[in-house]
Amino acid sequence: MVIQDTLFVLWLMVAGPLWATVGLFLLPGVNSGRKEKDQIPAATLKIAGLIGGFALGPLGVGLLYFEPALIRRTTLTLGVIVTVFATSQVLARVVDPNLPTALWLLLAGPLWAVLAAYFIPRHYRELEADDHNVLTAAALGGFAIGPLIFGLMWKTTPKVNRDWMIVLGSLGAWQIYALFAIQNVDNPCVAAPYNLTYLTQQTANGVVIGCIYSLMAVGLTLIYSVQGIVSFAHGQLYMVGGYFSFYFLLHAGNILSDLTGAEVSVNPIWGIPVAAFIVFVMGALFERVFLKPMHEGLIERVSEYAILITFGFGFFLEYTTLAIAGPFPQKTDRFIEIRRFTLNRTQITDDFSFGPIHIIGDRAFAMVVGIVLIFALLYFLQRSWTGRALRATSQDRQAAAVTGINPTNMNTLSFAMGSMLAAMSGAALIPIFNWVPWVGAEMVGRSYVIVVLGGLGSVPGALAGGIIVGIVEALGAGCHPDPSRGAAYKEAFALVIFALVLLLKPTGLFGREQH
Amino acid sequence: MKRISRIISILAILALAVMLPLGAVQADGHCEFADYTITLGGLAPMSAPGAVAGGVAMDWAFKQAAADINADCGISIDGVNYMVEVITGDSEGSPERGQAVAERLILEDEVDGMVGVYHSAVGLATMGVMEENAIPTIFSEPWNDNVSANGIIEFEGAAPRFADGIDHIFRISPASSMVGSVVTDWLISLGAEDVILIVENTDYGQPAAADEQARLEAAGVTVSQIDIELGTEDFVPILSRIQARAEPPDAIRIVVTGETSFNLTQQMAELGIAPTPETICVTNQIAFQHVQYWQTVPDGNYCAFNRVGIIPSLFNDTAIELNAKYEAEFGDIVPSFGMASYDAVFMMRDAMERAGSYSDPTSIVAAIEASDITLSQGRYYFTYGAHNESMPSDDGLPDFMWHQWPDPIVTVMQYFEQGQSSLDAAVVYPEVYQTHGTGYVVPGTSP
């Protein structure tokens, strides 16, 4: 009963009869403007629209509308999927809940993903077809639709674009959710009445924390894109940013209290620019003294040197802070006095309600700070001369130098700005988490995952990577069948996605391919 | 230039040569000390991932105890006064690191005894090292039941420590079961029927939670357990799971140590999960450090916590004096592991004096077994050891009572005012220690 409720509501929202009707009426429009010899029979279009909308909702209708060349194969594929899914539902109820999983493992899933990822790209190369994104599409296709992906890609070797990935990825994710729902009827991510409210709550949790993760990761990616090195002091720069903010707020509060004679506390928002300024200067100095020789050819083993020197800098910062600030946790006041924002429960039908959804006030504020800063950085990189110079240096140092850009200054600027972003991230989070001198360790590990996931050197990639990691962690911890394991493995969930992306798209989601 | 620096160097050496005997004369001010200094090894987590705040408090307590003992003419053995020094080794909260540090203290620094240890995992891992090297040891904080029980039972295939006739390990902190029983009895007395345990994934957390779960379930309480890793900062996805339940739980018990428990408690309060009139919040004993607690858990009013160690209203003169020194140093109330670490050094002194030796482990162990001394946490003694023919099981007691101080006070306390000092917090359980005449202060009310 619970499964039926869940899947039914989900299906009604994202696919089902409504979208089947839309497909039925929309698809015949494909023929308009086509020459008569290119026209597709109206009946075919109607059936395709019906099945596409029924199975995949707007995704199916959109795909068929804009890629009519795929109509026959896609319709066939979707028809098979709907049949398989419906059969598995029946089998799960009538025979055994494990049967749909077994069926899926036989007809699709990891086995077919591996086979497709191995054979299809080779076939493309043999035919000298454009194999861009083919590996990813083949793996996702094998996973989602099993042997049908061979039918779709083998004979005509179609050019693969991002839409393929979106459709096949969504299909695979939806199948996993369906199988998960069958196997875990009491899970809050599945069971009515929690399902949609709970999923939305966890997704919101993930997006909020993900934006905050992104801010730190952006700094790391900026340094990498210009200098080609990974800063192993990034976590500690994040940590000192929080401490600079803390001590600034403490002393500013004391001074103002002395002046006014009343207890005054300064809003932590003011700590962000202070921490940014101090750490910017600190980063610039470090770069000039310790990293500049590396770019001047004075260091023999540049990569090892960069790792060791930034590692050493990180240790220095951590233990100096421990000596000065001590090991006891610190925290600043709140950004805003609202403890949490709550979207109240809304009764949608007699049997179905949505909400409440809670977001902690300070987290929401920090998320806004993170997004504003990331977009400000993007604007700076895209629109200002210095930002363009940074990008030019990241693309080709020698060519940039020829046009009058000083790469040495760009190196310093990138490291200082990257460090500053880490510090701003720290200053934005000290009202939220307890601050101790080793607080950066967990965060920086996650940042490496984010930047590689998003694509090393890509700022939008870091934003996307942060949000993906946030959502995956939240859903992983929140939906794991065993709550105990879910909490303990929280960080491992993001690593699984990380490993998959590295396997399928080694440059990351938004990374540049090196030629 | 070279000549000037040479002159400065010679002057510096001369100054040192003059000052060194002066120092010795100062030390000899009112006591005559022997040349030999008795050294004790102190194991404490001084860096992450260990509970560094705890380690710093323990290190301070070791040093303070050594200073107080030396000011009182050190350890007197057969009429000769020996200075005492505690060398702190950083366990980092890790069993492997703890073992390596214990070996270094024993084999390189040649310590005469060991004190301290915060994390149970470190205690369990280092016991064998101390036993093999016959080092009298007084643990002041690890709670895992087996830390003391292993003296007489086989554990993970290893023979009991007492198998060869002598066990060098003692404990003056409570066993997990002693703490757990107080909290669970309190929850049962309040009529809790549905309890969630949030537990750290360590050698302390898992057995402690298992024990509490068994006690609660035996009383008919429904228990769910969520494990977390120490050092986790963001608990919101996990807490949202609790929030999504159809009915809120009656109580959430946090079996998590250190600053991780602060993050968890604050996020729980921010989300409005607990403390609420429907759900009791029971957090970790570190909440007793009220300055840290209110700074990091500003929404944690009405949260209860288990307090290990003597309650402030029962502080004796030694405790009051120690607390004043700690407060002057850290601006907070001395934690139980600080008091226990301080007392452990004094107990070692007392035992060595009665044994008439600092180097004969057998006689020192015998003296510790026969301890009867009142220090900051109260009167210390050991009921079960080689000096008592009965084993704990003979008296119907659990095995962890072996070489275990039987009287650590465990209470449940509760804040009921924002920013309240832990000295003013209500002791709500056991009834005999209640300070505000109530077994629970419902959120939003005053006792």
Say if the Cβ atoms of A331 and B228 lie within 8 Å.
no
Is residue A307 a contact partner of residue A232, using CB atoms and an 8 Å limit? yes
How high is the pLDDT of residue B159?
Answer: 85
The count of CB pairs under 8 A between chains A and B is 122
Tokens of B95: 């069993």
Minimal Cα–Cα distance from B46 to chain A, Å? 9
- Region of A130 please: left (phi>0), alpha (psi -120 to 50) or beta: beta
Tens of pLDDT, residue by residue over A335-394, are 998 888 887 777 776 666 677 888 899 999 999 999 999 999 999 999 999 999 999 998
Torsion of CA A477, A478, A481, A487, to 10 degrees: 30
DSSP conformation letters of B175-232: PHHHHHHHHHHHHHHTT--EEEEEEESSTTHHHHHHHHHHHHHHTT-EEEEEEE-TT-
With an 8 Å Cβ cutoff, the interface of chain B facing chain A consists of 47-49, 52-53, 55-56, 201, 224-229, 231-238, 240-241, 243-246, 259, 262-263, 266-267, 270-272, 292, 295-296, 298-299, 330
Helix (H, G, I), strand (E, B) or coil at B320: helix
Whether the CB of A331 is below 8 Å from some CB of chain B: the reply is yes
Say if the Cβ atoms of A490 and B271 lie within 8 Å.
no
Q: Using a pLDDT cut of 90, give the percent of chain B over it.
A: 73
Would you tell me the crossing angle of helices B236-243 and A195-227 to the nearest 10 degrees?
170
Q: How confident is the model at residue A88 (pLDDT cuts 50, 70, 90)?
A: low
Minimal Cα–Cα distance from A315 to chain B, Å? 12
Q: Residue holding tokens 């940042």?
A: A447
Residue of B nearest to A192 (CA): B246
CB-based contacts of B47: which residues, under 8 Å, 6+ apart? A322, A438, B55, B90, B92
Mutation target to probe the A interface, by most A beta carbons within 10 A, among B240, B254, B332, B418 is: B240
How far apart CA B337 and CA B318 sit, in angstroms, is 15
How high is the pLDDT of residue B55?
Answer: 92
How far apart CA A464 and CA A451 sit, in angstroms, is 9
**Contacts of range B73-77, beta carbons closer than 8 Å, 24 or more positions apart:** B73/B30, B73/B31, B73/B33, B74/B31, B74/B33, B74/B38, B75/B38, B75/B349, B75/B352, B75/B353, B75/B358, B76/B353, B77/B352, B77/B353, B77/B356, B77/B357, B77/B358
Q: What CA–CA distances, in Å, run from B185 to B210, B214, B216, B225?
A: 15, 12, 8, 18
Q: What CA–CA distances, in Å, run from B445 to A440, B192, B388, B411, B426?
A: 39, 19, 50, 21, 13
How high is the pLDDT of residue B24?
Answer: 42
Residue of A nearest to B228 (CA): A488
Is residue A430 a contact partner of residue A246, using CB atoms and an 8 Å limit? yes
Q: What CA–CA distances, in Å, run from B147 to B157, B162, B180, B255?
A: 15, 13, 16, 18
* Nearest to B345, CA basis, from B105, B45, B138, B136: B138
Whether the per-residue pLDDT at A134 is higher than 80: the answer is: yes
Say if the Cβ atoms of A329 and B262 lie within 8 Å.
yes
Q: Which amino acid is located at A402 in the chain?
A: V
Residue of A nearest to B329 (CA): A326
Say if the Cβ atoms of B53 and A328 lie within 8 Å.
yes
Is residue A270 a contact partner of residue A248, using CB atoms and an 8 Å limit? yes
Whether the per-residue pLDDT at B318 is higher than 70: the answer is: yes
How high is the pLDDT of residue A244?
Answer: 97
CB-facing half-sphere around the CA of A395: CA atoms within 13 A:
9
- Region of B7 please: left (phi>0), alpha (psi -120 to 50) or beta: alpha
Helix (H) or strand (E) holding B356: none
Is residue A241 a contact partner of residue A424, using CB atoms and an 8 Å limit? yes
Q: How confident is the model at residue A83 (pLDDT cuts 50, 70, 90)?
A: low
Whether the CB of A481 is below 8 Å from some CB of chain B: the reply is no
- The mean pLDDT of B218-234, rounded to a whole number, is 91
* Nearest to B27, CA basis, from B18, B17, B15, B35: B35
How far apart CA B199 and CA B432 sit, in angstroms, is 29
Tell me which of A4-18, A268-282, B389-403 is least confident: A4-18
φ/ψ of residue A172, rounded to 5: -60, -45
CB-based contacts of B159: which residues, under 8 Å, 6+ apart? none
Q: How confident is the model at residue A515 (pLDDT cuts 50, 70, 90)?
A: very low
Q: Measure CB to CB from residue A328 to each of B243, B292, B299 and give the nearest one.
A: B292
- The mean pLDDT of B409-413, rounded to a whole number, is 93
Is residue A486 a contact partner of residue A477, using CB atoms and an 8 Å limit? yes
Minimal Cα–Cα distance from B58 to chain A, Å? 13
How high is the pLDDT of residue A3?
Answer: 47
Say if the Cβ atoms of B240 and A201 lie within 8 Å.
yes
Mutation target to probe the B interface, by most B beta carbons within 10 A, among A211, A246, A433, A482 is: A433
Say if the Cβ atoms of A202 and B270 lie within 8 Å.
no
Tens of pLDDT, residue by residue over A192-239, are 655 678 888 899 999 999 998 899 899 999 999 898 888 999 999 999
Whether the per-residue pLDDT at A501 is higher than 70: the answer is: yes
- Chain A, 482-501: which have a CB under 8 Å from a chain B CB? 483-488, 490-491
The number of residues making up chain B comes to 447
Tell me which of A249-253, A345-349, A374-378, B271-275 is least confident: A345-349
How far apart CA B431 and CA B447 sit, in angstroms, is 15
Q: Which residues on A lie below 8 Å from B292 (Cβ)?
A: 328-329
Say if the Cβ atoms of B296 and A477 lie within 8 Å.
no
CB-facing half-sphere around the CA of A298: CA atoms within 13 A:
8
CB-based contacts of A384: which residues, under 8 Å, 6+ apart? none
Is residue B276 a contact partner of residue B301, using CB atoms and an 8 Å limit? no
Q: Which residues on A lie below 8 Å from B246 (Cβ)?
A: 193
CB-based contacts of A226: which residues, under 8 Å, 6+ apart? A390, A393, A394, A410, A411, A413, A414
How far apart CA A139 and CA A135 sit, in angstroms, is 6
Q: Which residues on A lie below 8 Å from B228 (Cβ)?
A: 487-488
Would you tell me the crossing angle of helices A459-479 and A440-454 to the nearest 10 degrees?
120
φ/ψ of residue B42, rounded to 5: -115, 120
Minimal Cα–Cα distance from A237 to chain B, Å? 17
How far apart CA A173 and CA A6 sit, in angstroms, is 16
Is residue A76 a contact partner of residue A37, using CB atoms and an 8 Å limit? no
Helix segments in A127-194, DSSP class H: 134-145, 148-153, 162-183
How high is the pLDDT of residue B29?
Answer: 60
Q: Which residues on A lie below 8 Å from B263 (Cβ)?
A: 433-434
Neighbour count for residue A450 (Cβ, 10 Å): 30
Q: Measure CB to CB from residue A340 to each of B201, B225, B272 and give the nearest one.
A: B272
How far apart CA B2 and CA A384 sit, in angstroms, is 55
Tens of pLDDT, residue by residue over B3-55, are 555 555 555 555 544 444 444 444 446 789 999 999 999 999 998 778 888 89
Minimal Cα–Cα distance from A360 to chain B, Å? 7
Q: Which amino acid is located at B202 in the chain?
A: T
Whether the CB of A197 is below 8 Å from some CB of chain B: the reply is yes
Tokens of B63: 């040093």
- The mean pLDDT of A443-468, rounded to a whole number, is 89
Whether the CB of A477 is below 8 Å from some CB of chain B: the reply is yes
Tokens of B159: 């023979």
Q: Which amino acid is located at B116 in the chain?
A: G
How high is the pLDDT of residue B22?
Answer: 43
Neighbour count for residue B354 (Cβ, 10 Å): 18
Name the average pLDDT for chain A: 85
Q: Which residues on A lie below 8 Å from B227 (Cβ)?
A: 484-485, 487-488
Asked if omega into A28 is within 30° of 0 (cis), the reply is no
Name the average pLDDT for chain B: 90
- The mean pLDDT of B189-202, rounded to a whole number, is 94
- Chain A, 336-395: which have a CB under 8 Å from a chain B CB? 339-340, 358, 360, 363
How far apart CA B328 and CA B375 sit, in angstroms, is 20
- The mean pLDDT of A431-450, rounded to a whole number, is 89
Kindly report whether the global pTM for this prediction surpasses the value 0.90.
no
Q: How confident is the model at residue A431 (pLDDT cuts 50, 70, 90)?
A: very high
Residue of A nearest to B233 (CA): A433
Whether the CB of A117 is below 8 Å from some CB of chain B: the reply is no
Q: Using a pLDDT cut of 70, give the percent of chain A over it.
A: 89
Mutation target to probe the B interface, by most B beta carbons within 10 A, among A6, A203, A434, A475 is: A434
Across the beta sheet with B75-77, the strand order is B75-77, B80-90, B33-44, B113-116, B137-139, B169-171
**Contacts of range A335-344, beta carbons closer than 8 Å, 24 or more positions apart:** A335/A267, A335/A268, A335/A269, A335/A361, A335/A362, A335/A365, A335/A366, A335/A431, A336/A361, A336/A362, A336/A365, A337/A361, A339/B270, A339/B272, A339/B299, A340/B270, A340/B271, A340/B272
Q: Measure CB to CB from residue A478 to each of B233, B240, B295 and give the nearest one.
A: B240
ipTM value of the model?
0.75
Burial class of A273 by CB neighbour count within 10 A (0 to 12, 13 to 18, 19+): middle
Tell me which of A326-330, B124-128, B265-269, B432-436 is least confident: A326-330
Tens of pLDDT, residue by residue over B85-100, are 999 999 999 999 999 9
Tokens of A341: 């924002």
